[in-house]
Amino acid sequence: MWVKVLGGSGRDFDACGYLTKRTGLQLDPEELRARRWRRKLELVAAPPLMPGLAGYLAEAKRSGLTHGVASSSSREWVASHLDQLGVT
């Protein structure tokens, strides 16, 4: 079962149970999780680099500057998207 803690209140929230009660539909937590993940990947894949960033990174590389990325996401997540965008 998919459980999410909301707002740091310490109470568990059953999203599928809540939606089932509100809609009357029988929902599969694993299918919802898979759909959410696929949609997240679609949204992340859609946007290009911010305007000017590719040029800035290229100039930094030509100048020998060290640069990095800070993120709360996992290293694998960030690296895969940087690779996809051609940023190394």
d(CA 72, CA 88): 19
pLDDT of residue 11: 62
Tens-of-pLDDT digits for all 88 residues of the chain?
444 444 444 467 888 888 889 999 988 888 888 998 898 888 877 677 888 888 888 899 899 998 888 889 888 888 888 888 888 6
Annotated domain spans of the chain = 1-46, 48-88
Contacts of 15 (CB under 8 A, 6+ apart): 2, 4, 29, 32
Query: Does residue 8 come out as left (phi exceeding 0), alpha (psi in the -120 to 50 range) or beta?
Result: left
